[in-house]
């Protein structure tokens, strides 16, 4: 692993599960950490842990509700004001909702939180990532993406809401986004990859069946590939790939549909208002 000292890592969903495990690993390696989450108490506990463990890097927590686009924009502005350069952006935050809910922006909550927030945050931070010697964007997917199809579209209505399908669609969107971002950054030093952390023992696992629960791994183990993509020299220059257990694997056929990825990008620009800002 390369030294992480002087490198700045932004991690969403950093206060629990694999996000917290990744933060602890990278913090112990000396990285400067910008931790994003909703739980103020958990965020403060991580900052306190860094102080008690005497981690070499600076650690800060910024409370943000990622489902709210104005909060994501405010978050990006705060990061830009405090940091001249970002070396690593880990798009990890994820949520599931048992019932249909809409964000304050009128968007189904799973899609708003898991995909659109990371699309918007990444786009707003690209300039800072481009200033790094080798900026890396790591987007956390899931094997559940294989249950979704690009043919069913991205909008889910209240009467047909299915929480598992909503989550699977959001994870498919994550991988399509990561690959399309890699294509768009092809002539730059910034790379973009997606990662499957495996079936991690988090709150998401509580509704899985018995066989699924037998496959669960601890958050620390699930975070290993994320940390590998953030810190290893072995992946330098690699972009547009899907990793599992530190190895490149094939994601679903739907997630490799380049035309679908371009359409999703355009839709995401419209839903976040970036299309009008870029005109």
CATH number, residue 260: 3.40.50.720
**Of residues 161, 167, 242, 244, which has the active-site annotation?**
167
Report how many domains make up the chain: 1
Comparing 154 with 39, the larger pLDDT belongs to: 39
Decide if 64 is inside a domain: yes
CB of 165 within 8 A of CB of 203?
no
Range of the domain at 122: 8-274
Q: Model-level pTM?
A: 0.93
Decide if 1 is inside a domain: no
The residues, any chain, with a CB within 8 Å of residue 153's CB and separated by 6 or more, are none
Decide if 279 is inside a domain: no
Q: State residue 83's pLDDT score.
A: 98
**What is the band of 146 on the pLDDT scale with cuts at 50, 70, 90?**
confident
Decide if 2 is inside a domain: no
Helix or strand run (H / E) with residue 174: helix 163-184
Task: Give the residue among 172, 75, 71, 192 at the shortest CA–CA distance from 114.
Answer: 172
Q: Does the pLDDT at position 1 exceed 90? A: no
Q: State residue 211's pLDDT score.
A: 40
- pLDDT tens digits, one per residue of 34-76: 999 999 999 999 999 999 999 999 999 999 999 999 999 999 9
Let me know if 167 is a catalytic residue: yes
b/e per residue 56-84 (b: at least 16 CB within 10 A): bbebbbbebebbbbebbeebbeebeeebe
Decide if 188 is inside a domain: yes
**What is the band of 190 on the pLDDT scale with cuts at 50, 70, 90?**
very high
d(CA 119, CA 72): 10
- pLDDT tens digits, one per residue of 67-108: 999 999 999 999 999 999 999 999 999 999 999 999 999 999
Decide if 147 is inside a domain: yes
């Amino acid at each position: 692993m390369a030294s992480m000292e002087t490198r700045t890592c932004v991690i969403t969903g950093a206060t629990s599960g694999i996000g917290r495990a990744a933060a602890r690993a990278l913090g112990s390696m000396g990285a400067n950490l910008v931790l994003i989450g909703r739980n103020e108490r958990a965020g403060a506990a991580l900052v306190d842990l860094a102080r008690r463990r005497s981690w070499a890097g600076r650690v800060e927590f910024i409370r943000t509700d990622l489902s709210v686009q104005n909060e994501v924009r405010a978050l990006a502005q705060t990061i830009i004001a405090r940091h001249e350069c970002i070396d690593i952006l880990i798009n990890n935050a994820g949520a599931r909702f048992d019932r249909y809910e809409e964000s304050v922006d009128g968007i189904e909550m799973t899609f708003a939180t898991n995909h659109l927030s990371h699309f918007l945050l990444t786009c707003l931070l690209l300039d800072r990532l481009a200033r790094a010697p080798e900026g890396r964007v790591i987007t956390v997917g899931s094997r559940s993406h294989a249950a979704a199809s690009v043919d069913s579209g991205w909008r889910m209505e209240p009467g047909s809401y299915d929480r598992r399908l909503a989550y699977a669609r959001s994870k498919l969107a994550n991988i399509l986004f990561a690959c399309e971002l890699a294509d768009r950054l092809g002539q730059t030093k910034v790379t973009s990859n997606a990662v499957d952390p495996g079936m991690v023992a988090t709150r998401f696992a509580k509704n899985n069946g018995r066989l699924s629960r037998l496959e669960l791994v601890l958050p620390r183990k699930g975070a290993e590939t994320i940390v590998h993509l953030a810190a290893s020299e072995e992946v330098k220059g690699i972009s547009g790939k899907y990793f599992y257990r530190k190895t490149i694997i094939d994601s679903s056929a739907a997630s490799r549909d380049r035309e679908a990825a371009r359409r999703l990008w355009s839709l995401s620009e419209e839903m976040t208002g970036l299309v009008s800002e870029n005109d």
